[in-house]
Amino acid sequence: MGFSSAVLGASQLAFRTADKPIIVAAHALRDATKTAEKWTLTGTIAGADNTVGAARGPISRVYDGYAHQGLHSRPSTNQLTWYLVLDVNTTPISFDSMILHGSNLYLDTGLTIKLQIANSADFATDLTTISTITPGANQFRFVDLDLDHVASGSRLYSAVEYVRLEFVSSATRAPRVREFWLGTQRQFEYLPNTPWDAERESSSAPQTISKSGVITAPRGMRARAERSIVLLLSTPSQIAMADSIWADSLEGTESFYWIETPGSDPKAYLMRMRGRPEYNPQLVDGMNRSWAFDVQEQNPFLALDPA
């Protein structure tokens, strides 16, 4: 039947423009059955597999929910053009956003990255570009909440069977991808309840005091974002959104992206629920519910991305 698309609702886009936060927990590539996945020079499912060996850079690392610098996937050689292709025709996917987290994509200012979908394994039938990225200096992560192919507004794409990333560079390179996330936006209608800790960060420096009184504190992690989120669920749509966040994150057991200011500065924090995940939207009066949960950022930390 092939893929289809639909424009996102006007109210959802209005909340985004007003900088109401978004959580992207649904991870279509993580949950789909992958018939094939590879780095290839041809851009087709049948093309030769040029992925670095399983011990060093398997494709599964791009959808495992971890973006640590050592956990990336890459092709085996430096070339001007590379394709990361995935065949998900057994369980076609739906998504309305892309988050791409790379290691070395910022090194080439002549690089262009395209997200493309098609209705055939050779990418000849209905090949469609729905996102184009041109990395700037020092950019490690990229957020596109406006997937589109006809310049008519942000779209949800459904029943997608074949997906690829095209990397076209001005200098030969082997792109390294830490996380390639195709997900569904869960749009807040309000900011979390106050007090709201939108600037909260933590670091690790365990102190040791010697017998002579010298304090040493070996530096560990720095500038991890942490948030204590309290959501007021006062409408059926808000309750449905909270239900979806819980389900999308596999009941709080998987990572998700937290996008704090999606309208003015859509940066994505890779988060995880802290402690024992729990979904407990408590009734606070005759009609409103409240859901409170704590989240911690996964390495690498956004605050330490080069400016």
Taking only the tens place, the pLDDT of each residue in 96-122 is 999 998 877 777 668 899 999 999 999
What is the token pair recorded at 188? Answer: 């807040």
What is the CB-side half-sphere exposure of residue 199 using CA atoms within 13 A? 0
Same fold, 4-186 and 190-304: no
- Spatial neighbors of 210 by CB under 8 A, at least 6 apart, are 216
In angstroms, rounded to a whole number, what is the distance separating the alpha carbons of residues 273 and 250?
Answer: 11
- At residue 137, the pLDDT reads 67
In angstroms, rounded to a whole number, what is the distance separating the alpha carbons of residues 97 and 120?
Answer: 22
In angstroms, rounded to a whole number, what is the distance separating the alpha carbons of residues 46 and 65?
Answer: 27
In the chain, how long is the greatest CA-to-CA distance? 76
CATH of domain 4-186: 2.60.120.260
Ramachandran sector of residue 124 (left: φ over 0; alpha: ψ -120 to 50; beta: rest): alpha
Kindly tell me if the per-residue pLDDT of 14 is higher than 60.
yes
- At residue 140, the pLDDT reads 80
Q: Where are the domains of the chain?
A: 4-186, 190-304
Instruction: Categorize the per-residue pLDDT at 249 as very low, low, confident or very high, splitting at 50, 70 and 90.
Output: very high
Using only the alpha carbons of the chain, give its radius of gyration: 21
User: What kind of architecture, by CATH, is found in domain 190-304?
Assistant: Beta Barrel (2.40)
pTM: 0.92
CB 98 within 8 A of CB 115: yes
